[in-house]
Structure 1
Amino acid sequence: MSAETASAAPVRSRRRSALGWVALAGGLLLAALVGGTLVYGGYTQRAILDPESAGSDGTRAVVRVLEQHGVSVTIARDRAAAERALAGGKTTLVLRDAPMLSDDALRDLTGRARHVVLVEPRSRALDVLLDGSSLGGFSPDLSASPECGVPAAANAGAAHVGELLRPADGVEGCYPVDGEFGLLQSEGVDGRTVTALDGLSVLTNSSLPVDGNAALALGVLGQTDTLVWYVPSLSDADQGTAAPTLGDLTPAWVTPAMLLLLTAALAAAIWRGRRFGPLVAERLPVTVRAAETTEGRARLYASSKDAAHALDELRRAARSRVGRLLGLTARTSPHDIADAVAQRLDADRARVRGILVDDIPRTDRELVAAADRLRDLEESVRAAVRTEGTTR
């Protein structure tokens, strides 16, 4: 391989790695763009009764129908925007349940509109805006006749009824079911009206085409040329009326108790984690003879009934010692060591190779016999080397 080829290989590798990271970043960016388009483009359901939601429980269809009939619809997603849109006064206000608003704030906001429609009536809003009316049960029969003098209901005819309401004195009820009503309306001396109905049964995208729901929706919501659809936000809460925080709801004794428990846990951790003196009595590092480690590994192999590995460990150590006795290097192969031993002892080469390399014991008895032969062979080499040195 040339120098240019060797230097170009790492460059290509880095280039491929960089391209991989670029492709990954591009894929993540594309997924984020698609997700943002789906979420913020109106293709997913935002919330129940949301005027921009195309889901089955959304109300975008009724907004489109109102706009086709000449009604200008403004969607206000906070209280300030709703108040600005209601500045003209001759406006219809569609109001969902707004538990974050105080009673005074609720009266002030609805007082700015000519007509108010409660599409998610709750007990407090009914009590404040409909002179003490309240929630009732639920209609077992989804369709009911108006049987009242409210023009929007009378012109629409039969419509779906879900949640039922109980009217207070002076409040007219429509769509009666067992003494309760599917729609309530109160009209003031100045012509202002407050209407309450179950929007989930009448106004949603899935329920609008059923019976006279569309006509009822147009009659109730299309009373003026402009309509403000207020979607309450948690930030609309009056000062002093916001929902209590976890700290406000927690008793005073909880914080000191938690601090005491944390202190006790820390003290227990320190107590249990203390070391009473050194773990090892002798100073480290400790010198361990190679023979001890070899024998220890051999015992482990023997206890696991792996005779072959135990003998291999003994052979490795024996070959190393014999090689040093014969002046061989550490890189000399096991077979060459066996041949050198056979030559020095003038012994059968195959037998020496069997002792130092080839023999495979299958039982503990064969392992002991092989270890004895290995020891005897090593002693014979030592004796031969000693004798040769003495003769010289």
Structure 2
Amino acid sequence: MTAAALDTSTPVPASPPLGAGGSGGSSGRVGPAGPRRGRRWAAWVSIGLALLVIGGIGGAVSAANQWAQRDALDPDSTGPGGTRALAEILRGHGVDVRVVRDRAAAAEILGTAPATLVLPDAPALSDDAIADLASGATDVVLVEPRARTLDLLLPGSAPAGVAPDAAIGPDCDLDAALRAGALAPGAVYSAGDAEACYPADAGYGLLVRSADGGRIAAVDARPLFANEHLAENGNAALAVNLLGRHPLVVWYMPNPGDTDLANANPSLGDLTPPWVSAVIVLLLVAGIAAGVWRGRRFGPLVAERLPVTVRASETTEGRARLYARAGDPLHAADRLRIGALRRIAALLGLAANAAAPDIADAAAGRTGLDRRAVRGILIDDVPRSDADLVALSTRLRDLEDAVRTAVRPERSPR
């Protein structure tokens, strides 16, 4: 059939427009909105109450035990980086361990009896404040020394890198190190005039210098004295031997507010209590919930019928008119051939992605027709007019019938 034969003057039927009455003229409501809106509000209220309960529980836990996550090397912390285990071991040996977070209180306690001062890095204190605090102690153990602290209390010493992650022997005559044995010291320091143990590369893991009847020691306590590492190698033995020489241990934990520097500016994270993080997370969740609740909805709120229903045959006729208007019979022939090739391949049991030449050869072999003629019908022949297109359409239909007859002879037309 030609494209012109497909032309028709039959008008396209259309369904009544929306709002014209009947089923198309509904107001857009699909059901009672009151109960549904009430259920939606109840769901959001439940979510809000759940978030408030979770936030309250989190705040209560945080206020009760500060999450047991204080600063690193804190004797009150039971976290992996704390030193609560070491403090309890010292107390078990009869040593009075006092955790002090105020410099003035630490100096007052140190003046009451011979004591060991455990001094972490204190960037909020001046050089004079550190020297004055250390001068009141019999022994000083620097558990997290930096270059400034080493230069103040162990002149000539300085950080010298990090030791390999392997146990190292003491290689010195210090009793505390000999009783502890091998360990992995972490950071190492240049010795200066101090006695040095645990040599690694260009430094030593432990420095000890005698001064005024006492001694000053420096060691990287994070990989040795922290809760998660205390049971490894000889870490616990070294810690007890260094800190337990006197019946009193004053463990000073500096805080940003305990400073004598005029221009000390603690960070916001140092000044805020731990529960602030939980509140921030709660506010973020509440903001996301509010965005989902009040955010813009995409797509129609109710289902609608299309105003016009178009039959498949009408789209075929429309496409035929376009081909006829373009005067391109070859393009129309290609569409006919694609459909015929797909159906013939299905009849012959070929794959959906089989090539056109393979389908043509299989059809010729199955029907016994000349292979060149079959290829001409399915591939090679070029229609140059509407008459040629009609003839090609007839030949395609005859070839498809022949293949169907050869494959299913009992279903062939009589």
Match of 1:220 among 212, 234, 242: 242
Select the structure with the greater relative contact order (CA < 8 A; seq sep ≥ 6).
2
Runs of 5+ consecutive residues of structure 1 not aligned to the other structure:
1-16, 246-306, 310-392
* Cα separation, 2, equivalents of 1:111 and 1:229: 15
1:88-167 to 2 correspondence within 5 Å?
88-167=112-191
Match of 2:72 among 48, 54, 66: 48
Indicate conservation of the 8 Å contact 1:159/1:212, yes or no: yes
Match of 2:197 among 174, 179, 191: 174
* 2:110 aligned residue: 86
* 2:219 aligned residue: 197
Distance 1:160 1:73, change over 3 A: same
* 1:69 aligned residue: 93
RMSD over aligned Cα atoms: 3.2
Which contiguous aligned blocks of 4+ residues in structure 1 show a shift greater than 4 angstroms?
20-27
Per the normalisation by structure 1, the TM-score is: 0.53
Distance 1:186 1:25, change over 3 A: same
One-letter amino acid matched to 2:181 = G
* 1:32 aligned residue: 56
Match of 1:232 among 244, 254, 257: 254
Per-residue CA distance 1:58-90 (angstroms, 9 max, x = gap): 111111111111111111122223223223141
Secondary structure in 1 aligned to 2:68?
coil
* Cα separation, 2, equivalents of 1:220 and 1:187: 13
Distance 1:64 1:43, change over 3 A: farther
Secondary structure in 2 aligned to 1:131?
coil
* 1:25 to partner: Cα distance: 6.8
Runs of 5+ consecutive residues of structure 2 not aligned to the other structure:
1-40, 268-305, 309-414
Secondary structure in 1 aligned to 2:223?
helix
Task: Choose 204-213 or 77-86, whichever is displaced more.
Answer: 77-86
Per the normalisation by structure 2, the TM-score is: 0.51
Indicate conservation of the 8 Å contact 1:101/1:241, yes or no: no
* 1:179 to partner: Cα distance: 3.9
Secondary structure in 2 aligned to 1:236?
coil
* 1:35 to partner: Cα distance: 3.5
* 1:124 to partner: Cα distance: 0.2
* 2:232 aligned residue: 210
1:14-29 to 2 correspondence within 5 Å?
28=52
| Identity in percent | 42
* 2:207 aligned residue: 184
Indicate conservation of the 8 Å contact 1:142/1:162, yes or no: no
Per-residue CA distance 1:201-242 (angstroms, 9 max, x = gap): 210111110111110010011111111111111122214352
* Cα separation, 1, equivalents of 2:250 and 2:131: 16
Per-residue CA distance 1:234-287 (angstroms, 9 max, x = gap): 122214352499xxxxxxxxxxxxxxxxxxxxxxxxxxxxxxxxxxxxxxxxxx
